[in-house]
A and B are shown apart, each in its own frame.
Chain A
Amino acid sequence: QKEVEQDPGPLSVPEGAIVSLNCTYSNSAFQYFMWYRQYSRKGPELLMYTYSSGNKEDGRFTAQVDKSSKYISLFIRDSQPSDSATYLCAMSDKVYGQNFVFGPGTRLSVLP
């Protein structure tokens, strides 16, 4: 079993839809959870960062962490064509950032 699982997609949705992106993980020691957005031929851009369980909202983006189920989600409301990208989840178990694990990424296409 991979340490982090993520549906690679591609996921296609119409403009304005609510998008749900998810990752599951196996290492219960993970405490820091991140979502990155990567446009084609660009480096990943940090979107959301959460610590431990709970929800965090930033504009149209909401990140959820359920440590009991080892499951994290990113919701995108009112999706736009400009949201079309690959979304990578990432997590780490140490404050000093020496043990990051990335999911394989989900390709999202928002159709106008």
Chain B
Amino acid sequence: GAVVSQHPSWVICKSGTSVKIECRSLDFQATTMFWYRQFPKQSLMLMATSNEGSKATYEQGVEKDKFLINHASLTLSTLTVTSAHPEDSSFYICSATRQGATDTQYFGPGTRLTVL
């Protein structure tokens, strides 16, 4: 159990467009979902934490108007990169904690975003 999926697995878009990434917990209800970005050969950088039905909490330096997070249900969170630019190209990974067992994060497979 504790499977997290992401869609799409990779996306290429033009500069100035918006891209939506979905994160789903397939076999459990996720109390909290986290969004990370990861540059090549670097560690995970937490962008924001979201709880179902609440506004996301963004880490310092992360623009909330650029990275829109919606957590509409206990199994789905979306990250929308608005007006994407080449410097937004990165590997975006979500994770989730299970309802009732929130001490461990389970990660999705990641989404590779390339902005041309």
Contact = CB atoms under 8 A, between A and B. Distances in A.
Interface of A: 32, 34, 36, 41-46, 49, 51, 88, 90, 92, 94-98, 100, 102-105, 107
Contacts of B102: 95-97
B11 to A, nearest CB: 14
5 contacts: A43-B109, A46-B104, A51-B103, A96-B32, A103-B43
B93 A43 contact: yes
B25 interface: no
Give the interface size class of chain B.
20 to 34
B103 A97 contact: yes
Interface of B: 2, 4, 6, 31-32, 34, 41-44, 46, 49, 91, 93, 95, 97, 102-110, 112
B110 A42 contact: yes
Contact of A105 (B43, B103, B106): B43
Contacts of A43: 4, 6, 93, 95, 107-110
Contacts of B106: 46
The 7 closest A-B pairs by CB, nearest first: A97-B102, A43-B107, A104-B43, A97-B97, A43-B110, A43-B109, A32-B103
Nearest to A44: B107
A93 to B, nearest CB: 10
Contacts of B2: 46
B109 A97 contact: no
